[in-house]
Amino acid sequence: MLNVNKYVDINTLDKEAKKDYIDRHSAFIEVEKEVAKGEMLTVTVRVGDEYPHPDDFDHYISYVQLYNGQTLLAQANFEPGAVFGNGGKGNLRVTFNIMANKNLNLTAMAYCTKHGLWESDTVKVVVK
Amino acid sequence: MLNVNKYVDINTLDKEAKKDYIDRHSAFIEVEKEVAKGEMLTVTVRVGDEYPHPDDFDHYISYVQLYNGQTLLAQANFEPGAVFGNGGKGNLRVTFNIMANKNLNLTAMAYCTKHGLWESDTVKVVVK
Amino acid sequence: MLNVNKYVDINTLDKEAKKDYIDRHSAFIEVEKEVAKGEMLTVTVRVGDEYPHPDDFDHYISYVQLYNGQTLLAQANFEPGAVFGNGGKGNLRVTFNIMANKNLNLTAMAYCTKHGLWESDTVKVVVK
Amino acid sequence: MLNVNKYVDINTLDKEAKKDYIDRHSAFIEVEKEVAKGEMLTVTVRVGDEYPHPDDFDHYISYVQLYNGQTLLAQANFEPGAVFGNGGKGNLRVTFNIMANKNLNLTAMAYCTKHGLWESDTVKVVVK
């Protein structure tokens, strides 16, 4: 069975190694919470916040997906070492631009080639 | 939050409409359960068993993924109407070929553009 | 044989319909031309400049790829109607963020479900 | 500019190293040349014929695409080492199943993470 890791606030965790592990895999959505109808909405998916993730050939973030509700909008796939260089590390970011036609409930999913699927919190965007 | 639908045996369901809905989205893995080390293993992912799924421009199976444990092996993406023709329907099938190096725990995920994510049962393959 | 459409400056074209057809499919790379080593480089791939492309279920930009030289870095896939809404139109944009480790020769490829493959001009980025 | 390598018959080549290089990257389509309307058509894309390709983390076949004319039907992406195991090698195969509604002109594209894009010969399928 597939295990989808859900977001955990690392301030609730004690051990440094666990904070690092959880944080560097967590997917975050950066987006304005209110937008006028018909405007372009800039949606950035970021993987990790305070701790960087490796971009090694055998351990990297292979894809991120962006969903509205249960509906997939887009998926970005990355080749190993493409973002930070093999041996490099950092917080992967990809920015999609979506026209705001109606309210959105955005969720991101990130996939690490060693540590599986990581689902972000859902972010509500109100279209006025 | 993303909802991952899990496999349900439709013989446990009463209503015809529900049997149809569940069956046509269910992902199945067709594979030999035992294989000699180093042989090529033919792994077919099929979506739906007794009931066909539409392949309409606005309602189709957009991708299937094949995992070993929590590790993604491959993802096949389909364009709308590519498999059965827009307006057609059927049970999508895609066959991957994987070298059997060690025991596998295969799980498939299918994504329908109207009805979201559907996870197969996990199938164990023993490599002798 | 696959036909890869190459960038054409629409100012060299006479007919309005042709300008529209060429422009709305053309892939463009927006990026700084010089960057300090180790900095994050923001690379936007845009499809179309002056003329919008439809985002209809049966006619949309299905993916864009970003290459460095002949090496794929990333591919973003879009579901039909995901960006502008079915019936909407516009210039799709997706932004990748790549660490600048050495000089880059970036090329984008866009794929339209009705009009095939479109390759951008190559943009050189100097890493100082 | 992206270089799309086209199929070359290795019997026309002299040097063993070149035969190996060309063959192991070449994409082939295995399909029946005539099929009855409405039947399912089994289309296998294979990469390499006589010479195996590595499946190393830093050198592998990352995806294959199947086109009908200039229209993409499907794309299968593979994770590094997923097919033969890191350090293994062989001829990647993936099988799509397409309903035969009208004549097809099938072309495959394969992408190697070190040696770029490789386009197959086009195969015509007559639907009777």
CA distance C94 to chain D (A): 20
Average pLDDT over residues D97-101: 96
pLDDT tier, C78 (very low <50, low <70, confident <90, very high otherwise)? very high
Residues in chain A with pLDDT values less than 50: none
Rounded-to-integer distance, Cα C103 and Cα A81, Å: 15
Average pLDDT over residues D77-106: 97
pLDDT given for residue C103 in this prediction: 98
Q: Which residues contact residue A45 at a Cβ distance below 8 angstroms, ignoring those fewer than 6 apart?
A: A27, A28, A29, A30, A64, A66, A76, A93, A94, A95, A96, A108, A110, A120
Q: For tokens 């409405």, what's the residue?
A: D38
CA distance B6 to chain D (A): 24
CA atoms within a 13 Å half-sphere pointing along the CA-CB vector of C71: 17
Q: Does C3 touch chain D (CB under 8 A)?
A: yes
Q: Which residue of chain B has the CA closest to C114? A: B79
CB contact under 8 A, B58 and C80: yes
Domain ranges of chain C: 4-127
Angle D18-D58-C39 from CA coordinates, rounded to 5°: 120
Rounded-to-integer distance, Cα C52 and Cα C106, Å: 23
Count Cβ atoms within 10 A of the Cβ of residue D50 and give its class: 0-12 exposed, 13-18 middle, 19 or more buried. exposed
Cβ proximity of C111 and A120 under 8 Å = no
pLDDT tier, C57 (very low <50, low <70, confident <90, very high otherwise)? very high
pLDDT given for residue D70 in this prediction: 98
Cβ proximity of C69 and C105 under 8 Å = yes
pLDDT given for residue C44 in this prediction: 98
Q: How many CB atoms lie within 10 A of CB C3?
A: 9
Nearest to A1 among B72, B107, B115 (CB): B107
Q: Taking all residues of chain D, what is their mean pLDDT, rounded to a whole number?
A: 97
CB contact under 8 A, C95 and A99: no
- Chains contacting A (3 or more CB pairs within 8 Å): B, C, D
CB contact under 8 A, D2 and C115: no
pLDDT given for residue A84 in this prediction: 97
pLDDT given for residue A79 in this prediction: 97
pLDDT given for residue A119 in this prediction: 98
Nearest to B58 among C57, C62, C113 (CB): C57
| Cα–Cα separations (whole angstroms), residue A17 to A50, A76, A90, A120, B17 | 13, 28, 17, 20, 49
Q: Does B69 touch chain D (CB under 8 A)?
A: no
CA distance A76 to chain C (A): 4
pLDDT given for residue B120 in this prediction: 98
- Name the region of D16 (left: φ>0; alpha: ψ -120 to 50; beta: rest): alpha
Q: For tokens 């792994």, what's the residue?
A: B43
pLDDT tier, B85 (very low <50, low <70, confident <90, very high otherwise)? very high
The CATH fold assigned to A4-127 is: Immunoglobulin-like (2.60.40)
Nearest to A57 among D58, D62, D77 (CB): D58
Q: For tokens 């500019």, what's the residue?
A: D1
Average pLDDT over residues B20-47: 97
pLDDT given for residue A105 in this prediction: 98
What is the tens place of the pLDDT at every residue in C102-125?
A: 999 999 999 999 999 999 999 999
Q: Which residues contact residue C12 at a Cβ distance below 8 angstroms, ignoring those fewer than 6 apart?
A: none
Average pLDDT over residues B87-100: 97
CB contact under 8 A, A77 and C75: yes
* Helix and strand totals (H; E) in chain C: 1, 12
ipTM (interface pTM): 0.96
pLDDT given for residue A75 in this prediction: 98
| D81's tokens | 């080492």
